[in-house]
Amino acid sequence: MRKNSLFLLGTVTGICLTLALSGPQGTHLVAVAKAKVEGDIYSQLNLFGDVFERVRADYVEKPDDSQLIEGAINGMITSLDPHSRYMNNDSWHEMQETTSGEFGGLGIEVTMEDGLVKVVTPMDGTPAAKAGILSGDFISQIDDDNVQGLTLEQAVSKMKGAVDTKTKLTILRKGNDNPIYVTLTREIIHVKPVSYRTNGSDIGYIRISSFSEQTGDELKKAIADIAKQIPSQNLAGYVLDLRNNPGGLLDQAVSVSSAFMARGEVVSTRGRRPEETQRFSAHGGDLTKGKPIVVLINGGSASASEIVAGALHDHKRATLIGTRSFGKGSVQTIIPLGGGHGALALTTARYFTPSGRSIQAQGILPDIEILQDVPDELKGRGEMKGEASMRGHLSAEGAEQTGSQSYVPPEEKDDKALAAAYNLLRGVTTNAGGPAAASSKATVPN
């Protein structure tokens, strides 16, 4: 494996140098450069071996060899970017449970920031949501154990456990001088990725909270049921709510976009080499039959949510209302390692909207910006910092943008963005630059 890796690296380096060299000495110089690269790599690997043996021989207590290796792997992977990570076998199985849509725990989407567990969003109807945990909160302790020094997988593992057992979390919240202590009872988390209802007798409201394996199928059922409740001639359109949706599976983002698009590119992914570019197109036809769409986004809308919002916007299929999205424009590929060694979640590509725009560390701007009225007790923590604020993030193609409001009022009557969406679909207000009012007549690019 080592020889293969070094050969590939040497080949790539050689190609780059060949483009820059000419004349009879070119081949010789390329060979010298390749040999130097290989020599540098072997030197670094020898350094790692020396340190490993010194720790095993001289550390004050006998270390566990497997833990040393896992720690070294974690250090290497986490130094790349905030989203690449190594999962041991237990963590790998837990991730499979999560993406399947059912698992035991607290119902909370988290990431790692500055050594602490940061809440991306609590899932609807789960113990975390019922306890009042909010997007942007930091978890500093789990059952009196400090989170500092743990990997994300280790912290998540501590929060999981047998159903009906309790765990205590210490929450740090911006604007609060003192920590907040909450005790939660673990439940089987049935992730319901799609919820829906009708508003009045003319609008279908659909909320997608995550992109798990069931999302595409659940969305189709939601659209079909709304169509049964509201006759086509009375249906003014749909509101697609992607606020505080942290993302999920790429194929589900394509499936969701396909439900609202007759044809056309949804997203493209581009890796280090041009031949790695992939394009994903809509399939299955527009299930809404060209009805106007309004998409709600905010600072907590990330990854797969941004793919859907970007695709519908670029194809002039929807008007976006809310605040700037999170700005996670990278794709992680899950690479099983075999032999019970877990898997890598490795950032392998950036994704681009159909117009060729990368939203990495920039996010997607809504057509109509609507700021919510944040209660006094929550002011100062109603914003999500965004991808650009994460240490080690991939750089943007242009000026980076950090953060936007992520607060969503718990009561519909206080939700200004949702009210604006309803008014736009009903023609109470208009957006001259937006596509919603005329989307049923808009041409869709191939």
14 vs 10, 19, 38, 224, CA distance in Å?
A: 6, 9, 12, 56
Total residue count of the chain as it appears in this document? 446
Cα 369 from Cα 380, distance rounded (Å): 19
Tokens of 307: 């793919």
- 62 C-beta neighbours (distance < 10 Å), count: 8
Of all helices (H) and strands (E), which one includes residue 56?
helix 26-58
CA-to-CA separations, 331 to 40, 90, 336, 358, 400, in angstroms, rounded = 30, 23, 16, 12, 19
Token readout for 444 is: 């869709």
Assigned token pair, 384: 């999500």
User: What tokens were used for 119?
Assistant: 């809440």
What pLDDT, on the 0 to 100 scale, is given for residue 99?
A: 66
- The catalytic residue positions are 303, 314, 328
The residue behind tokens 């069931």 is: 214
| Residue 335 in tokens | 């690479």
| CA gap 403, 323 in Å, rounded | 9
Cβ 197 vs Cβ 238: under 8 Å: no
CA-based nearest residue to 175, from 130, 219, 137? 137
CA distances from 22 to 10, 28, 60, 172 (A): 19, 11, 56, 60
| pLDDT value for 29 | 53
**Which pLDDT score is estimated for 19?**
33
The reported pLDDT for the residue numbered 98 is: 66
Helices 89-100 and 152-159, interaxial angle, to 10°? 60
Which amino acid, residue 9?
L
Write the burial class of residue 11 (CB in 10 Å: 0-12 exposed, 13-18 middle, 19+ buried).
exposed
Cα 222 from Cα 414, distance rounded (Å): 25
> How many H-runs (helices) and E-runs (strands) does the chain carry?
10, 21
Collapsed DSSP state (helix, strand, coil) of residue 31: helix
Rounded Cα–Cα distance for residues 261 and 250 (Å): 17
Read off φ and ψ for residue 328, nearest 5 degrees.
-95, 100
* 257 touches 231 (CB < 8 A): no
The whole-angstrom separation of Cα 161 and Cα 147 is 17
**SS3 at position 127:** helix
Tokens of 433: 């630059």
What residues have CB less than 8 Å from 251, skipping those under 6 apart?
A: 216
In terms of C-beta density within 10 A (0-12 exposed, 13-18 middle, 19 or more buried), how is residue 409 classed?
middle
Q: What is the pLDDT of residue 125?
A: 81
Q: Is 179:170 a contact under the CB 8 Å cutoff?
A: yes
Query: How far is Cα 193 from Cα 125, in angstroms, rounded to an integer?
Result: 12
- pLDDT tens for the chain, 446 residues long, are 333 322 222 222 222 232 333 344 555 555 555 565 566 888 888 999 999 999 999 999 999 999 999 999 999 999 999 999 999 888 887 777 666 655 678 988 887 887 888 887 788 788 999 999 988 889 999 998 999 888 787 888 889 887 889 999 999 988 788 999 999 999 887 778 999 999 999 999 999 998 988 999 999 999 999 999 999 999 999 999 999 998 989 999 999 999 999 999 999 999 998 888 999 999 989 999 999 999 999 999 999 999 999 999 999 999 999 999 999 999 999 999 988 889 999 999 999 999 999 999 999 999 999 999 988 877 766 577 789 888 889 999 888 887 799 989 989 999 999 999 999 999 997 764 455 443 333 322 33
Q: Is residue 291 packed enough to be buried (19+ CB in 10 Å), middle (13-18) or exposed (0-12)? A: buried
